[in-house]
Each structure stands twice: as C-alpha cells, then as structure tokens.
A and B are shown apart, each in its own frame.
Chain A
Amino acid sequence: MRPVLSVHEVTKKFHQVVANDRVSFDVMPGEIHCLLGENGAGKSTIAECIYGFHRPDGGTISVRSKELDLRSPSDAIRSGIGMVHQHFVLVPSMTVLENIVIGTEVATAILDMREAAERIAEICRRYNVEMDLNSRVSALTVGQQQWVEIVKALFLGAEILIMDEPTAVLTPQESRRLFAIFREMCESGMSIILISHKLDEVMQSDRVTVLRKGKKVGTVETRASSKSELTNMMVGREIDLGAPRPRGVIGSPMIELHGLCAQGDLGTPALNGMTLTVHRGEIVGIAGVAGNGQKELFETLTGVRKATDGRVVFDGKEVTNHSPRDIQKAGMGHIPDDRFSEGLVPDFDIQSNLILGAQREPAFSKMGFLRFDAIRQFARDSIEAFAIKAPSAQTACRTLSGGNAQKVIVAREFAQSTKAILANQPSRGLDIGVIEYMHGRLTDKRDENFAILIASEELDELRSLADRIVVIFKGQIVGEFRHDAVDLERIGLLMAGHTGEAAAKTSVGEA
C-alpha cells in the first residue's frame, strides 16, 4: 500500500531555534498515526507545516506521491488535509452553522445556508453525532465544541485529519467515543494524525512516530510496543507517573468550605453551595471539566473573588471575604491555572516575581526601600533549590518555558505559605519530567503537614497524587472517592453531569 501522506526530511527553523530537524514519516490510508513527544519536541510545528500554516525551510510534503507546495492552509485544504487545533478556533458568539460555513464555497454572496445545513446534518448522521446547528458555540460544552471543529474539517472535505491534542479537555467517556469514531472514519478510508502525549490514547493508534527535541527518534508499530518503551523514547529515561505514591497521615481540618457560593465573571452563579474539607497532611484532588467552577473556587478561597453566600474557615478561623493579603498572610499559597497572566508579571525578572507579595516583609525591604542584596540571595537560592533553568535571576519571566515559569511560581508560593497550597491545573502543558518533579514537591509539602487542594483535568494525575478525589460539576461537589476506591469510569460520568445514581446505572448499561 502506498502512503497517503509522506513527510520527507522536513526542517523548520524559527530564527535560530530548530523546531523540526529533518523529520520524516509516512501515513497510510486508514491509519491512525500518532505523533508523540514532549513540549517543544516539534509535534505541533510539523503538523502546522503539513497544514500550510508554516512554510518548511527544507524537505518535502507529498499527498498520494504528489509533492505539495503549501503556501497557506487553503492549499492544504485543497489537498484534503484538515486540522483540529489544540485551542479551538471557533467564534463563540456565532452559531454552529455559521462557524462551519465561514470561508467555504457554500457561503455565497448572500448567505443561504439551507443546503449547507443539510450537508452538515448528513455528516453528523453518518458519525452519529448530535448537534444543534443553530445554537451558539458559547452554549456548548467543550466536548461538543470539539465536534464542531471535527465536522468543520470534514465539511471542507478532509481525508487526512490532523488532531492536535484532541482529548486534553475531554472526560474519559467522551474520549473513548472520539476514538470509536476515529476508527469508523479510518474504515471509510480517512487517515488520522493524532498529536498526543497521553500514553493511554497513543496506545490506541496504529503506529507511533516519536519526536524528541525536534528530531525523530523512530516510528514503531503500536502493537509491538509498550507504554514504557514509548516513554523511554520520548523522554530518554524511564518515568512512571502512574505509580502510586506513599500516602501521608491525615490530621485535623485545615480548609473548610460550608455551602460556598460565588458568581462567575458574567454574574452567573459559578459556585452553588460547595461544602468540602481539606485536612492537614492531605492532598484533595478536584476532578472536573474546565469551567465548572474550579477557577472561581480558587479565587474565592484566596479572597480574590467575593463569596455571595457560605463560609470559608482556614485553620479554625473564619476568613470568608477577607482580603487576599490577609489570607496569604494566614499561610495559604496559590498556584493559579494561567501562569503568565495570573501567576507572574511576565515582564518582571525572576527575582522580582519570586518576592511578589512578600515585598513588604522586613526580609526584603527596609523603610520602604527594597533590599536588593537579600532579594538576589533569595532568588539565587530558589533557582538552585527548584532547578529553574534561566540565564540569571534578572531574566524576564516572559522568556521562560512553561515548566520553568511554573517553578518560579511554586518557589514563591512555597516560600510564602505556611499551612496550605492551592493549585489549579498545576501540570497543564508541562513536560512529563517537570510534572514528576512537581508531584514530588507537592508530596513533600503534604508530608510537612500542609493541606493541599489540586484541580486537574488529568485523572491519572489525581489518582496517583491525591488522597481523596472529589468531582466538581456546575459549581457543586457531585462525588467523592478515597484514593483506594477510585472508579475512573464513575468519575468520568459525574464530570459529564450524570448524577450519582444515573452514573451507576449508565456504567452498568455500557458494560
């Protein structure tokens, strides 16, 4: 069989940085071909070269043995290449139909979308996807939005579909369904290029091409390989994030929420009476699809957002609606989900970011003047202790990689907190090595009797790290699991909004 897509010796440089160094691989008809690699390994760059978004500096890309001259995505689309980007490219305020039709030949001068709507409905029927074409994209769940993206690519006639990290935000059930439909697509002759770093998914592909630091490590038949072999190829050493960690000794309550309510940015309810206790020496993991109140929960706990009802008790003292400064001084550290917009001042250097919030402490200032010797010393110590890779303490944080930026935040919050750490999506977008490191540091803190609350979309992460997992849906806790009784199946259903009983039934029904 001849490959449907051939990537041959493709090199792509951004200024001096080589993102892809002579990468080659073939995709066969009907194949799910996975590109595996860490951040910065060049997965997305090679995908964007194939989609015509970037122009390679060398090498060729051919479809059905015909070399392509890709000047823009429209050339790729004409050759039957479609792409679903990791960060969805949709207009939230417009309807599903409008989002799919924009820029296709169906969009005639005066819009008449009936024919388009019929064709889209047919695609949906074929893959058994339910979609209300007239609802606004902003009203859809993340999973549904992904379907809009996929249908958008199919509507353009994609035969080779590039999926960039498609399951980053899906529940386990949604992700299984996605793969079932990928298989159907492949049976009807399509090919799928799957970009991922989740080994569970990678194992469902036909072949895997592993990239490391812009270079191809190798292509293997998935069936003939194993998770540990792939990790080894990807990282260059053995890591097992899923390995259970030693559990701590759980003490008395540290953070208590009683019926906490708060509004989201648009004034709609985001937290609807949350009740939760985190004890000393305990890591509690919050499982949930993003946008179900995680961000608001952390902001309310740290005093950034006003609680409209309910109470927060921290170490036995009421702190509801106290100022962020008071709560921080009481010993609570916070690692927000958006590193560069909330966790750091990107244009400040590392040493300034490391002391943010502590700048009035006598250790760092005297009579209103900053003590730069002490700050520099503290920065040097932190950079060493947390293995932050940076030219100097005076480097602007904006130039740091995600992992090193996260380490700066963690170093600061660990130094300033004395009792509890809140972390929202602490490992999002980080390399497996850095994640392993973070997990180790958080476990250390737990062993120092800190109360730790972590929200994550990665259930495997919570399973390995947390002593207890709670599931959040629409601002409420809808389920709770001890670490020795974790049921990922049920957690997935709860995340998707099935209530406890229904979840139990459905899981039986599906099995």
Chain B
Amino acid sequence: MGDLFQETILIGIFAATIRIATPLIFAALGELITEKAGILNLGVEGTMLMAAFAGFAGSFVTGNTLAGLALAMVAGGLMAFLMVFMAATLKVEQVVTGLALNMLAAGMSLYLFKVYFETLSLPTAEVMPYLPIPVLADIPWLGPIFFQQKGLTYLAFLMVPAVWFFLYRTKWGLEIRVLGENPKVIDTKGMSVTLRQYGAVILGGVLIGIGGAFVTIGSVVRFVPDITAGRGWLALVIVIAGNWRPAGVLLAALVFAFLDALQLQIQGIGVDLPYQIFLALPYVIAIVLMVAKSRRGRSEAPARLGIPYFRGER
C-alpha cells in the first residue's frame, strides 16, 4: 500500500518534470540560437507572454489549438523582429531593448486581454489534448512519465537534436555561430551580417513563441496576466547553465523542471515549511550554478554576445 503510494508520487513528480520542462526547452533553445548569433535577447519572458496570449486568443476564436499555436509562433516572431530591428539595424543597447520588450509585453497582453475578453466572465479556450503513444505508453514507469504527454512535449525533446544538427551540421548554423564569434568574418566574405542576424533571432523568437503557447493552450484553459511567471527568465539562466550547448540546455531545463515539480508535490503533501522557499529554490540553484560556472573557466559563450557589429571596427 505504502509502496504503491510512493510509486504514484514518484511517477507524478517525474511526469510533471517532463511537462514543466516543455516550455523551458523551447524557450531556451530559441534563446540559444539567438545568442549563438551574438544577440542577447533579454525579452524572452515578454516574448513568451505575448505568445501565450496569442495562443490563447487564437484557440479561443477558432476553437482550434493548432491555429492558436500558429498565432503564438507569429507573435514570437514579431517580438523577435522588434528585438533584432533594434539590435541589428538601429544597434541599440541590447540589454535595455530586451527589458523594454518585457515591459511592453506585460502591458500589451493585459491591455489586449481586457479589450477583447473583458465582457466575458472567465473566458476559456481549447487546450491541447494528451497524446499517449501506443504501446510505449503502457510501459510501466517510463510510459506514464514519458509517453503520456502532449504533442508539443514530444516535439520539445525532438527539437534538442534538431537544433544541435542545425547549429553544428548545416551551413546556416555555421554562419550563425560565426556571427556570435566574429561577425567580421561574414562581412569580409561579402555576406550580409544583418540579414543573418534577422534570420537567427526571428527563428529563435518562433521557438520561444511555441514555449509561450504551451503555457496557455498547452496547459490551462484560461489566460491570466503574467501567466508565464518567470519562465522566460529561467530560460535565460538555462542557456548559461547549459553552457550554450543544446544537450546542456536540455539537462539544465530538466533540473529546473524537476525542482519545480518537487515543489508542487511538496506543497500538495503539506510539508511544514513555507512553500515560498520551494518556489525560490530553482532560482537559488541557478545562482549557485552560475557562481560555480564562473570559476570553472572555459565557457562556450559566444565571444561577441551583446556587442553590436560596426563595419569600421577592428
């Protein structure tokens, strides 16, 4: 009896870990591609929030979660467009731009929500269904943890090798990585630095947008202000903790997701500790990780992260 109870709890925690990791993986992979191109997009949180709202709105209006997802991807791409326009074309300070994007999203998502959904009492939208994978879903332990999830969750895990392949085995990936290390190499070969920055950042934004969509139409029927609740910031930390590598990003995302799942479970059981401590835990771990990392040297961080490119420079 006790064993069964424990088993259910453990499976619950692990299954929740996989689910919670989904938006983190998308957002962190999107930010990874962006940062590999040398652009520091601190607007991940805002991009996710706008996409979460767009996903909700799209699903609400059409009754189709895929339409919602498409709209969320467009929203992510648009936010990223704004970012890269400021960073690559106007060459504005990237940190400030990213922070501004977050404020813009916080205000705008709330405004649009009020304008279009105010009259309704508690509007709800379609949510993506669970897609258990036949056969695999029935494997004890592994089945309920890995194979009784939603489509986007499977996609998130497939995106990790896909992004790796893109970055390290295709010509576009090579060019993106060069942008982050030394954009002048691209320029002296007569290729457009700006064009490639736009491509990378918008692609990253679309991925971040999918992460945002999962927060609404992948999980809950409602939209509430600030529904992303810091996941975008966590994605930024995950990129650093994952040392700018797709596999590292996956690992870091799983660690943070596990801590969150644990925290939910502990709240549920009713351990005699203020739950805020557990809410803060992932961020505490993030700080510890970053301190530990900074002492270890050899980082895969792009050398020109956050530094605008000017042709005349040496």
Q: In chain B, residues 292-314, which have Cβ atoms closer than 8 Å to a Cβ of chain A?
A: 297-298, 303, 311, 314
Name the B residues within 8 Å of A75 (CB-CB): 190
Q: Which of B170-178, B208-216, B256-264 contacts A (4 or more CB under 8 A)?
A: B170-178
Q: Is B185 an interface residue when CB atoms closer than 8 A count as contact? A: yes
What distance in Å separates the Cβ of B183 from its nearest Cβ neighbour in chain A?
Answer: 10
Q: Is A408 an interface residue when CB atoms closer than 8 A count as contact? A: no
Check B182–A108 contact: CB distance below 8 A: no
Name the A residues within 8 Å of B191 (CB-CB): 74, 103
Q: In chain B, residues 157-188, which have Cβ atoms closer than 8 Å to a Cβ of chain A?
A: 169-172, 174-175, 177-178, 181-182, 184-188
Chain A residues with a Cβ closer than 8 Å to the other chain, count:
33
Q: Is A73 an interface residue when CB atoms closer than 8 A count as contact? A: yes
CB within 8 Å for A74 and B190 given contacts A94-B177, A107-B174, A111-B171: yes
Check B181–A92 contact: CB distance below 8 A: yes
Q: Which of A2-10, A28-36, A81-89 contacts B (4 or more CB under 8 A)?
A: A81-89
Q: Which residue of B lies closest to A76 (CB)?
A: B190
Name the A residues within 8 Å of B182 (CB-CB): 89-92
CB within 8 Å for A109 and B188 given contacts A91-B182, A267-B297: no
Q: Is A99 an interface residue when CB atoms closer than 8 A count as contact? A: yes
Name the B residues within 8 Å of A267 (CB-CB): 297
What distance in Å separates the Cβ of B263 from its nearest Cβ neighbour in chain A?
Answer: 37
What distance in Å separates the Cβ of A87 from its nearest Cβ neighbour in chain B?
Answer: 5
How many angstroms between the C-alpha atoms of A103 and B182 in the bound complex?
Answer: 13
Interface of chain B: mostly helix, strand, loop or mixed: helix
Q: Is A93 an interface residue when CB atoms closer than 8 A count as contact? A: yes
What distance in Å separates the Cβ of A242 from its nearest Cβ neighbour in chain B?
Answer: 29
Map CB proximity to A onto B84-108 as digits: 1 under 8 Å, 0 otherwise: 0000000000000000000000000
Name the B residues within 8 Å of A73 (CB-CB): 187-190
Name the A residues within 8 Å of B303 (CB-CB): 92-93
Q: Is A385 an interface residue when CB atoms closer than 8 A count as contact? A: no
Name the A residues within 8 Å of B190 (CB-CB): 52, 72-77, 103
Check B185–A91 contact: CB distance below 8 A: yes
Partner of B175, one of A72, A90, A92, A102: A102
Q: Which residue of A lies closest to B186 (CB)?
A: A103
Which of A83, A91, A94, A102 counts the most B-chain CB atoms under 10 A from its CB?
A91
How many angstroms between the C-alpha atoms of A86 and B314 in the bound complex?
Answer: 9
Name the B residues within 8 Å of A266 (CB-CB): 297-298
What distance in Å separates the Cβ of B5 from its nearest Cβ neighbour in chain A?
Answer: 50
Map CB proximity to B onto A259-286 as digits: 1 under 8 Å, 0 otherwise: 0000000110000000000000000000
Which of B169, B172, B177, B188 counts the most A-chain CB atoms under 10 A from its CB?
B188
Q: Which residue of B lies closest to A51 (CB)?
A: B188
Check A102–B169 contact: CB distance below 8 A: no
How many angstroms between the C-alpha atoms of A109 and B177 in the bound complex?
Answer: 15
Check B185–A89 contact: CB distance below 8 A: yes
CB within 8 Å for A111 and B170 given contacts A53-B311, A91-B178, A103-B191: yes
Q: In chain B, residues 184-220, which have Cβ atoms closer than 8 Å to a Cβ of chain A?
A: 184-191
Check B188–A53 contact: CB distance below 8 A: yes
Name the A residues within 8 Å of B170 (CB-CB): 109-111
Name the B residues within 8 Å of A467 (CB-CB): none
Partner of A102, one of B185, B297, B311: B185
Map CB proximity to A onto B229-269 as digits: 1 under 8 Å, 0 otherwise: 00000000000000000000000000000000000000000
What distance in Å separates the Cβ of B64 from its nearest Cβ neighbour in chain A?
Answer: 33
Which of B182, B187, B298 counts the most A-chain CB atoms under 10 A from its CB?
B182
How many angstroms between the C-alpha atoms of A267 and B297 in the bound complex?
Answer: 8
Name the A residues within 8 Å of B184 (CB-CB): 89
Q: Which residue of B lies closest to A105 (CB)?
A: B171
How many angstroms between the C-alpha atoms of A354 and B233 in the bound complex?
Answer: 44
How many angstroms between the C-alpha atoms of A77 and B189 in the bound complex?
Answer: 8
Name the B residues within 8 Å of A93 (CB-CB): 181, 303
Q: Is A98 an interface residue when CB atoms closer than 8 A count as contact? A: yes
How many angstroms between the C-alpha atoms of A261 and B170 in the bound complex?
Answer: 44
Check B189–A102 contact: CB distance below 8 A: yes
What distance in Å separates the Cβ of B311 from its nearest Cβ neighbour in chain A?
Answer: 7
Name the A residues within 8 Å of B189 (CB-CB): 73-74, 77, 102-104, 156
Check B185–A108 contact: CB distance below 8 A: no
How many angstroms between the C-alpha atoms of A104 and B178 in the bound complex?
Answer: 14
> Which residues of A line the B interface, CB within 8 A?
51-53, 72-77, 83, 85-87, 89-94, 98-99, 101-104, 107-111, 156, 266-267
28 A-B pairs with CB atoms under 8 Å apart are A72-B190, A73-B187, A74-B191, A75-B190, A76-B190, A83-B188, A85-B188, A89-B184, A89-B185, A91-B182, A92-B181, A92-B182, A92-B303, A93-B303, A98-B174, A101-B174, A102-B174, A102-B186, A103-B185, A103-B186, A103-B189, A103-B190, A108-B171, A110-B170, A110-B171, A111-B170, A156-B189, A267-B297
Closest 9 CB pairs of A and B: A74-B190, A103-B189, A73-B190, A107-B171, A91-B181, A72-B190, A89-B184, A89-B188, A91-B182
Other A-B contacts than A89-B188, A110-B171, 11 sampled, CB-CB below 8 A, are: A89-B184, A91-B181, A94-B181, A98-B174, A102-B174, A102-B175, A103-B186, A103-B189, A104-B189, A110-B169, A111-B171
